[in-house]
Structure 1
């Protein structure tokens, strides 16, 4: 597949704004894949994902920050590969607002007593889009 390091076109950006789920793939310590559907926002040329600090995906990212993301529609693939950064405090206000607008959800609020939230900021290394496979 072709490397597309530039921002994707308007049709893909519209899907990123409207679609509710993305499959996030992280790498377990034994090298196997861990894949899970997550809510996301795409803003400032970054994917943003909220998670509990104790989640498998966060444990995986601590040791291996490389991730892949794939929108759910396999007929018109949108896949991105990048590196995840964990943000534990000081979530960007514009990202919290974007989650509130998209999902009516506070991404920074703990999901259960005693849990702590983190934000994953994924910087894209390459896009793998429909029609770019070689």
Structure 2
């Protein structure tokens, strides 16, 4: 597989359904990287990630929607570059169902009192797969 700007294909979609964690890289206001592992689902040609509304991740993407995502397995790298849309409510029911199936978790459930949850929706601009990163 090479650098793809379209759908990743059935083999990679199957892997994305099975993988538990992805490293999310956002851009801090000073231009430095903020990298953190997160749970995710891949559905409807988008990555979906639930976060606290006041998290560093959420603040970073409000200021700069560019992100990179990297699966944990360095032997068979999968990196996606894209842009985030932040959804503060109206989470798609199909996405919530996939989170429940994959993790037994509701990404809308508050982790701290008074802190709303938001959903990051990442539209992939470019896939960088094994042997294609430049």
TM-score range, shorter chain: over 0.9
Q: Which runs of 5+ in 2 are unaligned?
A: none
For residues 131 and 14 of structure 2, what CA distance do their matches in structure 1 show? Answer: 18
Q: Deviations over 1:103-128 (max 9, x none)?
A: 00011110121110000000000000
Provide, for residues 75-99 of structure 1, a one-character-per-residue CA deviation record: whole Å limited to 9, x for no partner: 1000000000100011001111110
State the alpha-carbon separation in 2 of the partners of residues 108 and 68 from structure 1: 23
TM-aligned CA distance change 1:70 to 1:114, over 3 Å: same
Residue aligning to 2:84: 84
Q: What's the counterpart of residue 12 of structure 1?
A: 12
Q: Which residue of the partner structure matches residue 31 of structure 2?
A: 31
Number of residue pairs aligned between Structure 1 and Structure 2? 133
Q: Which runs of 5+ in 1 are unaligned?
A: none
Other structure's SS at 2:98 match: helix
Change (3 A) 1:105 1:29: same
Change (3 A) 1:100 1:73: same
CA RMSD for the aligned pairs? 1.1
**TM-score, normalising length from structure 2?**
0.96
